[in-house]
Amino acid sequence: MQAVDINKICVVGAGNMGHQIAMLAAIHGYKVGCADSNPEQLKQADDFAAKYLPERIAKGRLTEEQAAAARKNLLFTTSLDEAAEDADFAIEAATEKLDLKKSIFNRLDQLTPPHAILTTNSSFLVSSLLAGATGRPEKVCNMHFFNPALAMKCVEVVKGPHTAEETAQLTMELARKLGKEPVLLKKEIYGFLVNRILASICEEALYLLETGVASPEDIDSAVVNALGHPLGPFRLMDLTGIDLSYHITMERYRATGKAEDKPSPTIVEKYVKGEWGLKSGKGFYDYNQ
């Protein structure tokens, strides 16, 4: 199979990343089935589509015809069977929990045609942890989009030891067809490229906060105005979700058993309080003011 043969894409998970990936693919002319077991999550995704497309028309980024075609291409459903039927390519964008992702990949392997490529949008978990849940490990890899997926240009394609070269190259080409600038990792490494760098920055920022050196506001200001980053680490954690930071770090800790891999006390406290950042209205910053 080549990229030109891809007609339908299945997206699993209608959260912030999933529904944006689904919208991106629909705008670029692909039929998209986006599945989620949570009806409320699907309603929020559908509401986003109803708001986003008219905004793009108003800004001159889409014609009314293009927006109508994108909306027609996009199906939000609680049925994974329906979303995966006849899909040529699947992108899993569920919560960063290994057991959940394994079960999804097992279902996708059963529901999609034998030629379909199965990818994970995971920002940390490598696809070799998931490939064994399928009967097609050579067709499994990471395809990691960045938040917000509709705007960020980079996509990390990670080739595991099980991944066929054809699979990696097809995934790279699909990313280009979606208007992205993909980068290829020739082998798996925890955290990939970008998040390994970001994790070090966020870890140091949390250390500076927890030892009383500076406030989140001042640390963010220094990173933006001295290093030229568009967002400081605390604004970034609020944007991507403190719950995501917690789950990713906990998965790492479960895998290694090393105390230094545990989430920081601040991340644990905010996770328990439900202060997950922008999505909950409060994180390191208060968004309800």
Q: Is 59 exposed, middle or buried (0-12, 13-18, 19+ CB in 10 A)?
A: exposed
pTM of this structure = 0.83
Using CA atoms, how far apart are residues 137 and 117, in angstroms rounded to an integer?
Answer: 10
Mean pLDDT of 8-13: 98
pLDDT computed for residue 283 by the predictor = 97
- Closest Cα to residue 136, out of 159, 157, 108? 108
CA 72-78-83 angle, to 5 degrees, is: 55
Using CA atoms, how far apart are residues 177 and 258, in angstroms rounded to an integer?
Answer: 41
Please, what sign has the CA dihedral across residues 170, 113, 18, 252?
negative
Using CA atoms, how far apart are residues 57 and 234, in angstroms rounded to an integer?
Answer: 33
Give me the amino acid identity at 259: A
CATH topology of domain 3-185: Rossmann fold (3.40.50)
Mean pLDDT of 189-205: 91
Using CA atoms, how far apart are residues 265 and 116, in angstroms rounded to an integer?
Answer: 42
- Closest Cα to residue 189, out of 156, 166, 216, 215? 156
Tens digits of residue pLDDT in 14-68: 999 999 999 999 999 999 999 999 999 999 999 999 999 999 999 999 999 999 9
Tens digits of residue pLDDT in 198-218: 889 999 999 999 999 999 999
- Alpha helices per DSSP H over the chain: 16-27, 39-58, 64-73, 80-84, 98-111, 165-177, 194-210, 216-227, 233-240, 242-256, 265-273
Mean pLDDT of 167-194: 96
The more confidently predicted of residues 136 and 261 is 136
Give me the amino acid identity at 165: E
pLDDT computed for residue 3 by the predictor = 85
Tens digits of residue pLDDT in 210-268: 999 999 999 999 999 999 999 999 999 999 899 989 998 898 898 889 998 899 999 99
Tens digits of residue pLDDT in 77-89: 999 999 999 999 9
Confidence of residue 196 (pLDDT cuts 50, 70, 90): confident
CATH superfamily of 195-279: N-(1-d-carboxylethyl)-l-norvaline Dehydrogenase; domain 2 (1.10.1040.10)
Strand order of the sheet with strand 31-35? 74-77, 31-35, 8-12, 89-92, 117-120, 140-145, 154-158, 181-185
- Note whether 263 and 253 are within 8 A (CB): yes
Residue 71 has pLDDT above 80, yes or no: yes
Tens digits of residue pLDDT in 93-103: 998 889 999 99
pLDDT computed for residue 173 by the predictor = 98
Q: Does 195-279 match 3-185 at the fold level?
A: no
pLDDT computed for residue 159 by the predictor = 97
Domain spans of the chain? 3-185, 195-279
What contacts 178, CB < 8 A, 6 or more positions away?
Answer: 24, 25, 28, 155
pLDDT computed for residue 289 by the predictor = 77
pLDDT computed for residue 147 by the predictor = 87
Minimum mean pLDDT among 142-146, 165-169, 252-256, 274-278: which range? 252-256
